[in-house]
């Protein structure tokens, strides 16, 4: 079985690793860890005075960061289940398109993506990339529910603190 795992931020590595190991662990499974560097946002930089040089530098840092994150993910995944065969891949382009193309090319049996909340406390918001993948995929897609992102963590902590006394009374 071939599992394509798309990871976008390093804070979500552990929940995704946990879910992949729990759901797809066991012998004979190949996992491809994929990070896509979104170059659709780089286009603006081309019109910048400092131009392509700046863009290249930005791209280089992002590539390094992504490679490090995937290595970390690989180690974590193998700690959970060492029977996985793990591949790493950093690609550049428009995220949902790259994820879908990669799934087709690699002939993935399932795509794993994360969905996390951005600010709103009650509902899990599915990012635009995840939504696009879900809409357009022609194979099973696993959506792992992730903890709230860093900015909203503060607000939930505050909320918990304020709600605690009322809970006690």
Binding site for other proteins (CB under 8 A): 1, 19, 22-26, 29, 109-110, 115, 123-126, 131, 134-135, 137-145
Considering the complex, what minimum distance in angstroms separates the CB of residue 6 from other proteins?
Answer: 14
Considering the complex, what minimum distance in angstroms separates the CB of residue 142 from other proteins?
Answer: 5
Considering the complex, what minimum distance in angstroms separates the CB of residue 119 from other proteins?
Answer: 14
Contacts by 94-99 with C-beta closer than 8 Å and gap 24+?
94/36, 94/38, 94/39, 94/40, 95/6, 95/8, 95/36, 95/38, 95/129, 95/132, 96/128, 96/129, 96/132, 96/133, 96/136, 98/34, 98/36, 99/4, 99/6, 99/34, 99/36, 99/129, 99/133
- Name the residue nearer to other proteins (CB basis): 37 or 108: 108
Phi and psi at residue 132, to the nearest 5°: -65, -40
- Name the residue nearer to other proteins (CB basis): 23 or 75: 23
Pinpoint the alpha helices (H) of 10-149.
Answer: 13-24, 43-46, 51-80, 95-106, 128-136
- Name the residue nearer to other proteins (CB basis): 105 or 138: 138
- Name the residue nearer to other proteins (CB basis): 33 or 114: 114
Considering the complex, what minimum distance in angstroms separates the CB of residue 16 from other proteins?
Answer: 10
Considering the complex, what minimum distance in angstroms separates the CB of residue 92 from other proteins?
Answer: 26
- Name the residue nearer to other proteins (CB basis): 76 or 131: 131
CA separation for the pair 146, 16 (Å, rounded)? 8
Q: Please name the residue that has the structure tokens 């879908």.
A: 100
């Amino acid at each position: 079985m071939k599992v394509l795992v798309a990871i976008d931020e390093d804070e979500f590595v552990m929940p995704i690793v946990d879910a992949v190991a729990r759901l797809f662990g066991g012998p004979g499974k190949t996992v491809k860890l994929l990070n896509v560097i979104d170059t659709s946002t780089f286009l603006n930089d081309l019109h910048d005075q400092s131009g392509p040089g700046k863009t290249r530098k930005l791209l280089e840092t992002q590539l390094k960061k992504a490679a490090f994150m995937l290595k970390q993910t690989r180690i974590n995944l193998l700690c959970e289940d060492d029977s996985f065969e793990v591949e790493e891949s950093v690609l550049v382009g428009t995220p949902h398109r790259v994820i879908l193309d990669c799934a087709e090319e690699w002939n993935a049996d399932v795509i794993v993506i994360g969905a996390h909340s951005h600010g709103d406390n009650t509902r899990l918001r599915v990012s635009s990339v995840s939504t696009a993948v879900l809409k357009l995929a022609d194979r099973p897609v696993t959506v792992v529910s992730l903890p709230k992102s860093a900015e909203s963590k503060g607000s939930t902590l505050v909320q918990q603190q304020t709600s605690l006394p009322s809970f006690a009374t």
